[in-house]
Amino acid sequence: MRLYHGSVVEVRKPSLRYARKKTDFGKGFYTTTQKEQAEHWTTIKIDRAKDAKRKVVSVYEFDEAILAEPDIKIREFKGADEAWLNFVLGSRKGVQHDYDLVFGPVANDKVFTVVNLYESGVLDAPAAISELKAYKTYNQLSFHTKRVLDALKFVEAYEV
């Protein structure tokens, strides 16, 4: 499977060293199957970085054989449902999990507004989910252990 990672630097050897804790799926190395999503992430990251001048997408091949190993823990969300919503809220509050890989929708700016309204009690779960279905969502696959990170093989990097 081909995966993309948007950054301000080329990332030949992914690691958890620079991972932020309070993100959609917790501390991990985030990728997507969608090239345009990774390119969008470069814009977000360059805005956060001090003195960054490059927007770079690193491309990987993921050896999916690791998914068949019985002790690999995977959490997959098929869409923006209540389970996903609660997982994202918990992760953004710093709740840790023990999954090796987590796959599901990205809480982009529009989606995150709905998540905030749900968290504050303005929207209940069914209303939030109904609202979320109106937005196009992108996907993300986050790697949370070195073992699964080692299944990523760097292919190339390009500037946006």
Domain that holds residue 145: 2-159
- What is the pLDDT at residue 18? 86
Statement: the pTM of the whole predicted model exceeds 0.85: yes
Q: Mean per-residue pLDDT for 4-25?
A: 93
Q: What token pair was written down for 96?
A: 């840790």
- What is the pLDDT at residue 109? 67
Domain count, the chain: 1
Per-position DSSP letters for 21-62, written without gaps between them = SSSTTSSSEEEBS-HHHHHHHHHHHHHHSSS----EEEEEEE
What backbone phi and psi angles, to 5 degrees, belong to 6? -95, 135
The pLDDT mean for the chain works out to 92
Of the candidates 79, 78, 92, the one whose C-alpha atom is nearest the C-alpha of residue 128 is 79
For 63-119, write each residue's pLDDT tens digit. Answer: 999 999 999 999 999 988 889 989 998 998 899 999 999 999 886 667 778 888 888
